[in-house]
Amino acid sequence: MKHWSQFWRSTNSLSSFSEGIAVEGYSAEIKEFWETSVAELGKNAVLVDIGTGNGALAVLMNDYSKAQKLSWQIHGVDAAEIKPKALEESNDIFKGRFDGIEFHPETDMAKMPFEDASVDCVVSQFAFEYGDESAVLAEIMRVLKPGGRFVMMGHHKKSAVHKSTDVGVKVLHHIMHETPLFAQAELYLAIATQALTNMDARAYQGTNEGQAIGRTVEWLLQYVQDKYKKEEEKLWVTDVCRRVINLLAEATTVEKAKENMRQLNIQYQLLTGHIDRLKDMSAASRTETQIKKLVTSAKKLGAEGDYAEMKQHDDVFAWTAQFVKQ
């Protein structure tokens, strides 16, 4: 869970899909699905977003509630150490959008702080499948009122997101753990902190040390770009190369070299944490057989419902499932 806490602290995005989906939250087909799913809830409904992260789905629900002049009580639960409201300080687009949402950080989805039969609707966007599904499903049924609903959107084993995730794990793991790229970049910056006390950046680059290490870094950057030439690989390689190149290019003074050494270490930690998150995402992707088992499990707990396959731009995107507690 540490790698998820790290991510939510470091990102300015509402959702975990900051690589490809707008940081402001969900839109288009996703937004339409959720608004349709909750349209029949009462004026004073209590909603719980499990695995809320920075609150993308909770905010969408909150925006809808305000637009429809409803008085929903909205809660966001997450096992990670989250502080979604801090986003208001980084981007004006978030101002006021968290008002009315109560967040519950470091809270297990299987042990929610709500009374029995006190919740009208539990929602989950790429989150339920990360937990112990049997335990979380039982907890959802405990907190739902009779007639209450559980609506989820989950990772699909055949989706483009899943395929990209597996590619990302492969590429990032090789760069971070099987090449000395970051070690060589750190060495370049470490020597720069000494050399730049007596010379400018151009002179340092012309020294034997600056040339040798600089050429090694350049060779490593070229090596990973040549190794991963497929379109689905380039995104990951370009991101890592950009981070390293920018930090080295900006090390023009002793102070900047020292600061960029610190930033390089931060980037290394963020990227290794990203590998762990991608592995979690891959493991959370579900086959149709697994989704069918979820429907059967829900029925045994007294809920009726079914699943469907969701597409975006004619491509498989996710599983959706909706259940009503009897």
Characterise 72 by phi-psi region: left (phi > 0), alpha (psi -120 to 50), beta (else).
beta
Tokens of 59: 């905010």
pLDDT digits (tens, 9 = 90+) for 33-88: 999 999 999 999 999 999 999 899 999 999 999 999 999 999 999 999 998 888 88
Band of pLDDT at residue 267, cut at 50, 70 and 90: very high
Band of pLDDT at residue 13, cut at 50, 70 and 90: low
Question: Is residue 120 predicted with pLDDT exceeding 80?
Answer: yes
Cα of 158 vs its chain's centroid, Å: 19
More confident residue, 18 or 164: 164
pLDDT digits (tens, 9 = 90+) for 300-311: 999 999 999 998
Question: Is residue 19 predicted with pLDDT exceeding 60?
Answer: no
Band of pLDDT at residue 268, cut at 50, 70 and 90: very high
Q: Environment class of residue 263 by beta-carbon count within 10 Å: exposed (0-12), middle (13-18) or buried (19+)?
A: middle
pLDDT mean over 113-130: 97
Separation between Cα atoms, residue 243 and residue 258, nearest integer Å: 16
Strand order in the sheet with 303-312: 101-104, 73-77, 46-50, 119-125, 144-155, 315-325, 303-312
Q: What is the mean pLDDT of the chain?
A: 92
Separation between Cα atoms, residue 301 and residue 254, nearest integer Å: 64
Rg from Cα positions in the chain: 23
Separation between Cα atoms, residue 315 and residue 312, nearest integer Å: 5
pLDDT mean over 124-143: 96
Give the per-residue pLDDT at 16: 58
SS3 179: coil
Give the per-residue pLDDT at 314: 83
**DSSP secondary structure string for all residues of 90-102:** T-GGGTTTTTTEE
The CA-based angle 8-37-54, given to 5 degrees, is: 10
Question: Is residue 24 predicted with pLDDT exceeding 60?
Answer: no
* Class in CATH terms, 2-159+285-325: alpha beta
Output phi, psi for 308, to 5 deg.
-150, 165
Alpha-carbon dihedral angle through residues 78, 80, 86, 92, given to the nearest 10 degrees: -60
- Nearest residue to 304 (alpha-carbon basis) of 296, 312, 314, 293: 296
Separation between Cα atoms, residue 144 and residue 120, nearest integer Å: 6
What count of Cα atoms within 13 Å lies in the side-chain half-sphere of residue 294? 27
What sign does the dihedral 134-132-309-166 (CA atoms) show? negative
Kindly list the domain boundaries of the chain, sorted by start residue.
2-159+285-325, 161-281
The CA-based angle 319-321-323, given to 5 degrees, is: 170
Separation between Cα atoms, residue 315 and residue 291, nearest integer Å: 19
Separation between Cα atoms, residue 131 and residue 45, nearest integer Å: 25
pLDDT mean over 251-269: 96
